[in-house]
């Protein structure tokens, strides 16, 4: 019943997003990696532009890494660009360019974890698998678990989600539950009165029971759900790394030139710290240094 209500709601209310029109695992992977940490509105134009530049897995696998990192501009978390290309290279070299279908094999690809392997198996190959992202986790927690109990482990939540994936409808179920978490069952202000699952929701029922005066259709106080809080961005390592990569997208730099560039953009850090940040970028494979010149990898 939950599945029917959720999928029907999605059919009537789900957003028309470009990656929902494809079953190509390469395109699904591009979308999923872009959507991690970046909002849908910002991803849409970048998704189209990236696929125009790298239309298939072979093009991406053989492209200069500097071009891939440059194409990632505006999305942040540049390591995702690197993982994306490494995955493409692994699929081309190990699987003749055809993505594996099963979750366990997908998880062995570079940068592919529980979530992304499940997303490819489901959104490209339409398998009935369960996986958790922030939105799905929040909905499962509120909908299906005891609000008074401790928050269950990640594995317990995944098992719970797996029990509810309707046979043959994994694609629709997972798209629908993600969408519900994104636009209705949001972190801080769930729109319970508009939720198609409120009649089955344990969190909503507990809130109604706790307050007789609460109108059944009135917006209610959300259960607090532990979610990852990003560290402040200003002055962070992440900001410094992003600024360095932005500079190198234009042209290679020396350490001194990068230092000056950061100073001009309002980031004042000593050269010892700067050298440590650059060493981290080198370790991650995002930049290379040759003869004291720092640049994006070819
Ligand atoms: S009723 Fe409210 S808390 Fe429950 S799933 Fe729907 S939006 Fe989330």
Determine the atom of ligand 1 nearest the C-alpha atom of 196. Answer: 6
The CA–CA distances, whole Å, from 46 to 51, 73, 77, 275 equal: 8, 9, 14, 31
Q: 181: CA distance to ligand 1 center in Å?
A: 9
Determine the atom of ligand 1 nearest the C-alpha atom of 190. Answer: 7
Residue that has been written with the tokens 């990236």 in this structure: 50
pLDDT tens-digit series, residues 182-218: 999 999 999 999 999 999 999 999 988 886 545 544 4
Instruction: Tell whether 193 and 261 lie within a shared domain.
Output: no
* 140, 200, 204: residue to mutate for ligand 1 pocket, most atoms within 8 A of CB: 204
Instruction: Tell whether 26 and 118 lie within a shared domain.
Output: yes
The CA–CA distances, whole Å, from 110 to 85, 91, 155, 204 equal: 9, 10, 22, 40
* 13, 161, 192, 209: residue to mutate for ligand 1 pocket, most atoms within 8 A of CB: 192
* 198, 223, 225: residue to mutate for ligand 1 pocket, most atoms within 8 A of CB: 198
pTM: 0.86
pLDDT tens-digit series, residues 35-58: 998 999 999 999 999 999 999 999
* Rounded mean pLDDT, 279-287: 90
User: For residue 130, what pLDDT is reported?
Assistant: 97
Instruction: Tell whether 101 and 200 lie within a shared domain.
Output: no
Query: Quick check: is 154 catalytic?
Result: no
Q: 185: CA distance to ligand 1 center in Å?
A: 5
Q: 272: CA distance to ligand 1 center in Å?
A: 50
pLDDT tens-digit series, residues 25-35: 999 999 999 99
Does the residue 44 lie in any domain? yes
Instruction: Tell whether 66 and 163 lie within a shared domain.
Output: no
Q: 160: CA distance to ligand 1 center in Å?
A: 16
Determine the atom of ligand 1 nearest the C-alpha atom of 184. Answer: 7
Q: In what order do the strands lie in the sheet with 293-295?
A: 253-254, 293-295, 288-290
- 159 CB neighbour count, 10 Å cutoff: 12
On the question of pLDDT at 223 being above 70, the answer is: no
Q: Which residues line ligand 1 (CB under 6 A)?
A: 139, 142-143, 184-185, 190, 192, 195, 197-198, 201, 203-204
Q: Return the DSSP state at 295.
A: E
The Cα diameter of the chain in Å comes to: 73
Determine the atom of ligand 1 nearest the C-alpha atom of 197. Answer: 6
Q: 60: CA distance to ligand 1 center in Å?
A: 40
The CA–CA distances, whole Å, from 278 to 230, 237, 272 equal: 22, 10, 10
Does the residue 218 lie in any domain? no
How many domains, the chain? Answer: 3
The CA–CA distances, whole Å, from 235 to 12, 239, 243, 249, 280 equal: 43, 6, 11, 20, 16
In this structure, the dihedral spanned by the alpha carbons of residues 137, 140, 141 and 147, taken in order and rounded to 10 degrees, is 170
Does the residue 222 lie in any domain? no
pLDDT band at 142 (very low <50, low <70, confident <90, very high): very high
Report the mean per-residue pLDDT for the chain: 91
User: For residue 224, what pLDDT is reported?
Assistant: 52
Give me the domain span that covers residue 262. 237-292
Does the residue 226 lie in any domain? no
Instruction: Tell whether 200 and 161 lie within a shared domain.
Output: yes
Does the residue 221 lie in any domain? no
């Amino acid at each position: 019943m939950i599945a029917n209500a959720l999928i029907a709601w999605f059919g009537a209310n789900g957003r028309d997003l470009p990656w929902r029109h494809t079953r190509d695992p390469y395109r699904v992977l591009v979308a999923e990696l872009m959507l991690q940490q970046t909002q849908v509105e910002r991803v849409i134009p970048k998704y189209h532009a990236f696929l125009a530049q790298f239309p298939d897995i072979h093009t991406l696998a053989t492209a200069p890494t500097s071009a891939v990192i440059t194409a990632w501009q505006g999305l942040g978390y540049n390591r995702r660009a690197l993982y994306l290309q490494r995955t493409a290279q692994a699929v081309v070299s190990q699987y003749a360019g055809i993505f594996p279908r099963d979750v366990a094999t997908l998880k062995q690809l570079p940068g592919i974890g529980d979530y992304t392997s499940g997303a490819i198996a489901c959104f490209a190959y339409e398998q009935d698998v369960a996986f958790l992202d922030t939105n799905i986790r929040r909905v499962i927690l509120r909908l299906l678990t005891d609000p008074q109990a401790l928050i269950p482990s990640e594995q317990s939540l995944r098992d719970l989600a797996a029990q509810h994936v309707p046979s043959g409808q994994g694609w629709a179920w997972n798209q629908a539950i993600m969408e519900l978490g994104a636009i209705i069952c949001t972190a801080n202000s769930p729109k319970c009165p508009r939720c198609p699952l409120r009649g089955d929701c344990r969190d909503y029922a507990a809130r109604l029971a706790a307050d007789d005066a609460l109108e059944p259709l009135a917006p209610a106080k959300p259960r607090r759900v532990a979610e990852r809080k990003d560290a402040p961005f200003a002055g962070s390592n992440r900001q410094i790394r992003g600024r360095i990569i932005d500079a190198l997208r234009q042209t290679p730099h020396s350490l001194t030139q990068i230092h000056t560039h950061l100073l001009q953009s309002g980031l004042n850090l000593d050269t010892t710290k700067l050298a440590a940040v650059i060493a981290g970028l080198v370790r991650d494979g995002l930049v290379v240094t040759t003869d004291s010149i720092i640049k994006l990898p070819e």
